[in-house]
Amino acid sequence: MAGTPRAVAPSGPASIEASGSVLDRNLAALGVVSQRAARAIAQAQSRTDLEWTLADDGLISCAMTDGWGRKTSLASRKRPGEEAKRLAEAVDFDKAGVIVVKGFGCGHHVRALLERGRSASLIVVYEPDVALLRSVLERQDHSGWLIDPLVAFITDPDDAAWISETLTGSEGLVSLGLRFVEHPPSSKRLAETSDRFEARLAGVVRAIRTNVITTLVQSDVTMRNQIMNLDKYAEAPGIDDLKGTCAGKPAIVVSAGPSLKRNLHLLEQPWVREKFVIVAVQTMLKPLLARGIKPHFVTALDYHEISRRFYEGLTKESVEGVTLVAEAKGNPAILDAWPGVLRCPKDSCLSTLLEQTDANRGPIKPGATVAHLAYYLARHLGCDPVVFIWQDLAFTDGQYYASGAAIHGVWACELGPFCSVETLEWQRIARMRSRLIPARDHLGRGVYTDEQMHTYLTQFERDFAADANFGLTVIDATEGGIEKQGVRVMPLDEILAQYKQSESLELPGAPWPRSSELREAKQKLRRVRADVWKVAELCRKTHAAMTEMAEHHTDQARVNKLIKEVYAHRDEVSKLEPAYTLVQNLNQTGTLKRAKADRKIHLADHSPLDQQKAQIERDAENVRWLGDAADLLGEMMDAAIRAHDGKAPKITREDPAIDPETEAQRGKQRVWAVIPADPWKSDLGVPRDLAEPVLEGLSALRLTLERLGRTKELGGIAILTHNVGDTAAAAGLDPSGGRIGKLAVRFIEADAETYRARAAGIR
């Protein structure tokens, strides 16, 4: 995220006369990072209504005339370099990982912002006037800094896929915050499109932040599932032999949206399965089978054990001819419940654990949902076009799920005279009413989606745009739901008629299981478990040394001696592969914290001694998080070893010690108290003096925790905050959590914007 700052190359020679060679240099540099912008500029015509001048500092300036005859200078006519520097100095980079500049002008302020950001922020330039960009780049040589990977350009205010593509790979910076910087001379010129661009950008940023939070929250669950699925993964074949086997054949991706009822009957025709590769999400398997429709593939990757219900009652005979493609990060209950042919794509965690190249297993792009995985599988097979049905991504007709979806069976136990399926559908929507997002459906009518579905849409549109560059086609035959960029809209019956006379499919046969590899995988798990224990011990020793360094950092002789000790631990732990890599992968939250600390140190103007202390404290915190992650990974591996040896059931839920059936018999539920707590924000309903001593030196938060700790009914306490450090101090606990009496206390971190939006809902 941040490192040694790169020197920002100064702008090169300038001239008020257009130069093809200057333009070529600029476009070549710009094309390295922003190819679409470079192509658009190359195809544009220059503006002929600009008045150019060469300023005293050797940089260009120009003025444009509006429809009323008024002139506006896009940069100072005397010292545009100094003007740009003043604008950059007014921006607070500490609180923004992404700087969005509205208006390119002559480009001088963009270069100044890049230099001011010291390689610690992404600079995104929004400039819809492509003709202006060409005119500037024909006269001022900006190629020295346009090639910087931390500068990107967007010229289309409505292209969400372009915005998403621009921010992909910079998710960590997006999570740190986003700041708009107005280029004053461009404000009026961009007024017509600025709101549309900001709305699209806000949607993409919401999606990215949701993915980041999900990754952080689910990192331990993901790795637990992967290790628990080691046996199935080792035995199951991969998907490499499927690659390209259906090249040029059409595929139908079956989702579970509420538009299902409109055209489900069309898939009942026997010849459809012979002409189309049918890939269904797991939720739709049983409803399809009930109508006599057998998909070729079913996809699964869900974390929750409730997914087991989607396979209840199925037999090997009932799913003959159907292959489950399941990612190893899915809940173990899914893979254990499936009675038919199973394939597992390459999994990075298990591949690392087993130290296998898995060349014959075949990777697949990770998806946010089973529908994404289904789409990626269809493309892996070589299918084109790919037809989506029932992929609404909106509350079509006030519904979330398709009628008869498997989730309705899960809800069956809740139905009664005062609770219908429609009631539960409405509750599912109403729970997020404060987060609903207005949109347009495929007919241009108003419809609502939510933050979660909008996240899924953002990823789909990015995928569609990328595939369109390769000449691939996506058809939306949902006949309902949200409008999607990058697709053709057609009714399903027309698509089926178009391919009715095409050649039949020839899919590969069912592969043989790889049972011989299971014993070796289990032995490898034990060996790596021993190394994980060593990693944890080395982290604790290193943390102790770093804590001593921080306390005595002015004693450089002592610090240097301790540094040698730390380096020795570092060399030792680096030999413990793949254990050390797995611990780092599990430590997602610690990695993000380390990146934030790196950036904070990088942007600060410390003395050498103060910088050394800050780095030591950062490293001490980081190694403590690594040690905790190693302990957690060790516990996961111990549980997995027992499960694979048949000595204990697989863990499929957060707290396996709680048996749901036993709890139901007792008539009790496992309940956690949730405290939305921010020590400094009174607008969240929390007193400003939350951290101040109230009674016998204890804060209000600590007294609240101790009061809750006396109850015998609670299972634990979760404290939601955007500032874990201050909140933990007010609670008198370590930021990693702790216990109050017999109750576990956990801190859940959310960024400030998300925190404010959700705290009221949680209350």
pLDDT digits (tens, 9 = 90+) for 623-656: 988 999 999 999 999 999 999 999 999 998 765 4
Give the E-state strand segments of 327-460 in sequence order.
341-343, 386-389, 437-440, 446-449
Mean predicted lDDT score pLDDT of the chain: 84
- Which of 413, 369, 419, 414 is closest to 392 using CA atoms? 369
More confident residue, 407 or 187: 187
pLDDT at 620: 86
| Torsion angles phi and psi, residue 206, rounded to 5 | -60, -45
- Helix 130-137 with 35-43: angle, nearest 10 deg: 90
Centroid of chain to Cα 236: 28
* Contacts of residue 647, Cβ cutoff 8 Å, sequence gap at least 6: none
The radius of gyration of the chain from alpha carbons, rounded to an integer in Å, stands at 29
Distance in angstroms (rounded) separating the CA atoms of residues 547 and 531:
24
Check residue 749 and give its pLDDT: 72
pLDDT digits (tens, 9 = 90+) for 230-261: 999 999 999 999 999 999 999 999 998 877 77
Which region among 56-65, 342-351, 726-735 has the lowest average model confidence (pLDDT)?
726-735
Position 269 scores a pLDDT of: 93
CB 263 within 8 A of CB 482: no
Indicate if the pLDDT at residue 686 is higher than 60.
no
Of 399-413, 435-449, 457-471, 598-612, where does mean pLDDT reach its minimum? 399-413
SS3 322: coil
pLDDT digits (tens, 9 = 90+) for 495-506: 999 999 999 988
DSSP state letter for 503: P
Using 50, 70 and 90 to split pLDDT, how confident is the model at 316? very high
Angle, alpha carbons 390-393-398 (nearest 5°): 85
What pLDDT sits at residue 687? 45
Instruction: Convert the pLDDT of each residue in 576-629 to its tens digit.
Output: 999 999 999 988 877 777 777 777 777 777 778 777 888 888 888 889 889 999
Helices (H), 170-275: 171-175, 191-228, 230-235, 270-275
Model pTM score? 0.74
Structure tokens at 573: 């732990």
The model's confidence at residue 344, banded by pLDDT at 50, 70 and 90, is very high
Q: What is the pLDDT of residue 3?
A: 43
Average pLDDT on 701-716 reads 83
Return the amino acid letter for 331: N
718 touches 748 (CB < 8 A): yes
**CA–CA gap between residue 379 and residue 277 (Å, rounded):** 11
Q: Cα dist. 158→124, 197, 444, 533 in Å?
A: 15, 6, 15, 52
- The pair phi, psi for residue 227, each rounded to 5°, is -70, -35
The pLDDT value given to residue 398: 65
Q: What residues have CB less than 8 Å from 376, skipping those under 6 apart?
A: 364, 365, 367, 463
3-state DSSP assignment of residue 80 = helix
CB 462 within 8 A of CB 368: no
Lowest-pLDDT range of 307-321, 494-508, 647-661, 727-741: 647-661
pLDDT for the residue numbered 274: 94
Please give the single-letter amino acid code of residue 90: A
Percent of the chain residues past pLDDT 70, beyond the cut? 88
Contact 747, 716 (CB under 8 A): no
Q: What are phi and psi of 539, to 5 degrees?
A: -65, -40
Whether 755 shows a pLDDT value over 60: the answer reads: no
With the C-alpha atoms ordered 34, 35, 36, 41, is the resulting torsion angle positive or negative?
Answer: positive
Tell me the Ramachandran region of residue 178: left when phi exceeds 0, alpha when psi lies from -120 to 50, beta otherwise: beta
Neighbouring residues of 527: CB distance < 8 A, sequence distance ≥ 6: none
Whole-number Å distance between alpha carbons of 311 and 318: 11
Q: Enter the DSSP assignment of 577.
A: T
Higher pLDDT, 750 or 236: 236
- Answer whether 622's CB lies under 8 Å from 612's CB: no
Give the Cα separation of 246 and 286 in Å (integer).
Answer: 25
Angle between helices 35-43 and 20-33 (to 10 degrees): 150
pLDDT given at position 732: 79
Q: Is the pLDDT of residue 199 over 50?
A: yes
Closest listed residue to residue 318, CA positions, set 346, 349, 339:
339
pLDDT given for residue 420 in this prediction: 80
